[in-house]
Amino acid sequence: MAAGVNEFDLLVIGGGSGGLACAKEAADLGKKVAVMDYVVPSPRGTSWGLGGTCVNVGCIPKKLMHHSAILGHALRDAPAYGWQVAPSVPHNWRQMAQGIQNYVKSLNWGYRVQLQERKIKYFNIQGSFVNEHTVHGVDKSGKETKITADHVVIATGGRPRYPDNVEGAKEYGISSDDLFWLKESPGKTLVVGASYVSLECAGFLTGFGLDTTVMVRSIPLRGFDQQMALLVTSHMESQGTKFLKHCTMKKLEKLQNNQLKVYWNDHEENKECLDVFDTVLWAVGRVPETRGLNLEKVGVKLHPDSQKILVNANDETSVGHIFAIGDVSEGRPELTPTAIMAGKLLARRLFGRSSELMDYDNVPTTVFTPLEYGCVGLSEEEAEKRHGKDGIEVYHAYYRPLEFTVPERDSSQCYIKMVCLRDREQQILGLHFIGPNAGEVIQGFALGVKCGATYSQMKKTLGIHPTSAEEVVKLWITKRSALSATVTGC
């Protein structure tokens, strides 16, 4: 279809971080832009405003609840530092939830204002393709809308997965979509899954003093460095989170008092088990929001297993003027900053005469478990797979954060690992950090790794004393040496 025939230069389907970034960048480049966004309520009826997963049911409420739990731990440490705090201080879920939910609603409003300021047309409708340039949608009142655009960007993200083979899973369980909008405490909770979503939620629930159990089918934090993953779960266990390992769910039954009777199979003990919980939280992965878009009608191809949209390095789908970014795209990290950057760069390529592609190598991230785990680059397993065991050098250390000393807090899982090429300069392939403020620590080092920093350069970098981050530049013990990796003194 010739340019100028369509109503908009760009239509973005999806009002999350990536979609909004793409839309705003295109508008700033002088283009006529529309955003179509609609939140299908969860099976429990939870819905939210503009901004996508991260803002409403992901990173933002997750980090704030994590911080609330960290404050609880600080209160337990406070008497050792001279603060006359009661030994047991109860947590008020309702008060915390109201504060967080009000903040999220303010962000929803802020995004609406940003769209208005840029004259971006916002459609709160659920749409599907009619043809390659036309999307049809219906709003809550039943009003139909047809939108045509020269370019279409699909940025619909994903939603929590529910198991198909567990009786009562959708009827009685909740997901992270629901947890962050609960008005009352979830009480005794079973978290099913070993993803970062599962462990983060279980971590702060335990921090609030709730009886929390995690059910793990196979391994924790699949895709992450497994030595680090086991340290994370070991610390959670030491803090009171219970783990059911090598177990799979069978069914849920609702009791008259609204509690849930849960049946599962313990494959290690080869027996069936049951217990009663107030809440069952599903955290067994996510599915892309591609259903209902009518993609087959226009020839947009999906990955046969993941059902994510197949894209090339230009974020282009199998249809030339239709693009996909963020969690809905096959092979992309499911992280907010990557979606935002990908969206901005795509808009610039489409309308700003730029040719810069998104670089998905060495993307830093952090798992906000009670003891945070931050990383950038390759895991030890992946580095060994690519370069061989004799081709890498691994520097590591257990350390004790200064703030842990006075309250005598356990630091046995505070650990750093730097994976390097085993050559003269020893380029850093991956950096892994478990400890307080891991995200803040890794963010700075991520620049070095992105720029090809070497172990030799790291050794010339002065640490800031006394910080946990300085332990990274002090690394000198290799796994190959078999020396004790426990750091002592200054």
Residues belonging to the chain: 490
CB 64 within 8 Å of CB 103? yes
CB 251 within 8 Å of CB 167? yes
User: Other C-beta atoms within 10 Å of 319: how many?
Assistant: 15
Report the phi/psi class of residue 193: left, alpha or beta, with left for phi > 0 and alpha for psi in -120 to 50. Answer: left
Catalytic hit among 66, 73, 133, 465: 465
Amino acid at 167: E
Structure tokens at 477: 């013990």
Alpha helices in 239-320 (DSSP H): 295-298
User: Which H or E run contains 36?
Assistant: strand 33-36
Q: How far is CA 43 from CA 177, 259, 307, 405, in A?
A: 10, 18, 21, 46
Report the phi/psi class of residue 170: left, alpha or beta, with left for phi > 0 and alpha for psi in -120 to 50. Answer: alpha
Rounded CA separation 251/64 (Å): 32
The backbone torsions φ and ψ at residue 176, rounded to the nearest 5 degrees and listed phi first, read: -60, -25
Catalytic site residue 136? no
Structure tokens at 68: 């609330």
User: Which residues are marked as active site?
Assistant: 465
